[in-house]
Amino acid sequence: MARALRADAERSVRAILEAAERVLADDPGASMEQIAEAAGLTRITVHRRFANRQALIEALAISAKQQLVDAIEEARPDAAPALVALYRVTANVLRVKSTWRFSLSHATAHTEAAAALWDEIDAHTVKLLTRAQREGLIGPDADLNWARQVYYALLSEALNRPGTGQHPDETDADTQAALVIDTLLYGTGPRE
């Protein structure tokens, strides 16, 4: 069992992870020295916490995925009707995804721990989509694995669509969540 970090060590790890996310999002080839500088720490301190760049990227992936799990759970999806829960979860997830874009899109950071967290995220998503189907929001014959894939794609598209950022409403997580859920449930066809 891993020893709990002291509070100051936890703060430095958090500072390193947050700085690494910012720096690597701007320059995926940034050095550990650049990350240390952005964190306001020495390179030695960064290397004390993370043996190498790969270890840092793996820690980023785990941290970001854990934040996604926490965001889903903070939305308390079981405490509301499925439609409300979908909006809450989606808005929370979009907030995390917009902050941790590099970490959540980096393809090489699939450790066993990150994979376990991703399985947990998938389980939460399928559970919520199953409730939505039971409550009549999703057709009874809909393939929920396909719905999950479409939902994930819509989340990414909401964050990356052209023009996002030019108008404050377009980057608001609640506005984006409404767009994602409306598109997931109703598509782009006319409503009855």
Are 168 and 110 in the same domain? yes
Q: What are phi and psi of 130, to 5 degrees?
A: -65, -45
User: In this predicted structure, what is the pLDDT of residue 109?
Assistant: 52
Position 80 in a domain: yes
Strand boundaries in the chain, DSSP class E? none
Asked whether residue 36 falls in the same domain as residue 86, the answer is no
Clarify whether residues 6 and 98 are in a common domain: no
pLDDT at position 5 is 59
What is the residue range of 20's domain? 1-50
Taking the C-alpha atoms of residue 173 and residue 51, their distance in angstroms, rounded to an integer, is: 36
Encode pLDDT of 19-64 as tens digits.
999 999 999 999 999 999 999 999 998 999 999 988 999 999 999 9
- CATH number, domain containing residue 174: 1.10.357
Q: In this structure, are 7 and 44 located in the same domain?
A: yes
Look at residue 191 and tell me if it is in a domain: no
Task: Kindly report the pTM of this predicted structure.
Answer: 0.84
Cβ(25)–Cβ(65) below 8 Å:
no
122 and 149 in one domain? yes
Position 192 in a domain: no
Nearest to 121, CA basis, from 183, 80, 75, 70 = 70
Q: In this structure, what CATH number is given to the domain that contains residue 2? A: 1.10.10
Structure tokens at 11: 């703060």
The mean pLDDT of 152-179, rounded to a whole number, is 79
Q: Which of 29, 50, 71 is the last residue of a domain?
A: 50
Compute CA distances 179 → 87, 105, 132, 155, 172, whole Å. 10, 21, 17, 9, 11
Q: Are residues 85 and 127 in the same domain?
A: yes
Name the band, by pLDDT with cuts 50, 70 and 90, for residue 189.
Answer: confident
Residue 146: pLDDT band (50, 70, 90) is: very high
pLDDT digits (tens, 9 = 90+) for 85-118: 999 999 999 999 999 988 887 665 568 888 899 9
Compute the C-alpha angle 109/106/69, nearest 5°.
70
Same domain, 23 and 72: no
Percent of the chain with pLDDT over 70: 90
Q: In sequence order, what are the residues at sequence separation of 6 or more whose Cβ sits closer than 8 angstroms to the Cβ of residue 14?
A: none
Task: Tell which phi-psi region holds residue 187, choosing left (phi > 0), alpha (psi between -120 and 50) or beta.
Answer: left
Measured from the Cβ of residue 61, the count of other Cβ atoms closer than 10 Å reads: 26
Res. 165: pLDDT tops 90: no
Q: Please state, as a whole number, how many other Cβ atoms lie within 10 Å of the Cβ of residue 192.
A: 4
At what angle are helices 53-74 and 7-26 packed, to 10 degrees?
Answer: 100
Element containing residue 147 per DSSP (H, E):
helix 144-160
Which distant-in-sequence residues (6+ apart) come within 8 Å of 182 by Cβ? Answer: none
Q: What is the mean pLDDT of residues 151-172?
A: 76
Q: Give the model's confidence band at 1: pLDDT under 50 very low, under 70 low, under 90 confident, else very high.
A: very low
pLDDT tens-digit profile of 72-84?
Answer: 999 999 999 999 9
Residue given tokens 């989606």 in the structure block: 90
Question: In this predicted structure, what is the pLDDT of residue 56?
Answer: 92
Return the pLDDT at 108.
54
Q: What pLDDT band is residue 176 in, cutting at 50, 70 and 90?
A: very high
